[in-house]
């Protein structure tokens, strides 16, 4: 199917407008006031539509139902993917939600994976928005609740945290330091080592 250029442009413009409504230009939300050590075992909302956590949070059915998560996005090593040790597919099927994966052989591949992960998140949010419009369930005062994505890895502190930081840089124009500080304000246990910081710095230059 070949879509005329003007139709593709119109579709792209529409998607950008939808994303503006969904994100509502949320650059800052209240940080976690009283971080407790045990909170590292759960997931935290980085944006109203974007959560960050560890693999066990992606298996917590009560949490996922309570928060209204509609997609599980795992950031994992290709070797882990090959033996199916880390996946959201089973839980997603049980809950009737979507799942996706971004597989990398090592952290160096993350810089190429950042745009792919951003697209997966945005495509899902746009899909849920359009679905809500079609079903007449959109709440204009809380558009973001139509779709919520949980990004996770083994610990919820490294690869998935880097992807979430990259998403904020991409969508909200945050610089490296602001993105890292913002993510850390919501999930205090994240760990950006020098390698991840350099990858995000290179991504900032690309953006």
Task: Please classify residue 91 by burial: count the beta carbons closer than 10 Å to its beta carbon, then call 0-12 exposed, 13-18 middle and 19+ buried.
Answer: middle
Instruction: Identify which of 65, 69, 32, 63 has the alpha carbon closest to the alpha carbon of residue 50.
Output: 69
- Residue 1's pLDDT band (cuts 50, 70, 90): very low
Q: Decide: 139 and 126 in contact? Cβ < 8 Å.
A: no
Report the pLDDT averaged over residues 26-45.
Answer: 75
Using CA atoms, how far residue 138 sits from 50, 51, 99, 134, 146, in Å, is 18, 21, 22, 9, 7
- Residue 191's pLDDT band (cuts 50, 70, 90): very high
pLDDT in tens, 137-186: 666 555 555 799 999 999 999 999 999 999 999 999 999 999 999 999 99
pLDDT in tens, 117-150: 999 999 999 999 888 877 766 665 555 557 999 9
In the sheet that holds 44-47, the strands lie side by side as 44-47, 50-54, 149-153, 71-77, 98-104
- Residue 85's pLDDT band (cuts 50, 70, 90): confident
What is the value of pTM for the model shown? Answer: 0.87
């Amino acid at each position: 199917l070949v879509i005329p250029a003007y139709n593709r442009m119109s579709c792209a413009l529409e998607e950008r407008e939808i994303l503006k409504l969904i994100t509502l230009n949320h650059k800052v939300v209240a940080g976690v006031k009283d971080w407790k050590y045990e909170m590292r075992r759960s997931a935290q909302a980085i944006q109203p539509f974007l959560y960050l956590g560890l693999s066990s949070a992606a298996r917590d059915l009560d949490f996922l139902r309570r928060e209204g998560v509609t997609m599980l996005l795992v950031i994992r090593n290709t070797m882990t993917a090959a033996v199916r040790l880390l996946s959201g597919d089973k839980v997603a099927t049980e809950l009737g939600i979507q799942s996706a994966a971004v597989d990398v052989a090592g952290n160096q591949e993350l810089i190429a994976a950042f745009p792919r992960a951003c697209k997966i998140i945005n495509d899902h949010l746009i899909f849920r928005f359009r679905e809500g419009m079609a079903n007449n369930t959109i709440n204009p005062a809380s558009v973001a609740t139509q779709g919520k994505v949980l990004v996770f890895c083994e610990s919820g502190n490294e690869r998935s945290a880097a992807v979430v930081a990259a998403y904020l840089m991409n969508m909200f124009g945050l610089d490296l330091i602001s993105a890292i500080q913002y993510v850390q304000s919501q999930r205090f246990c994240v760990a950006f080592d020098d390698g991840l910081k350099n990858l995000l710095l290179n991504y900032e230059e690309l953006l």
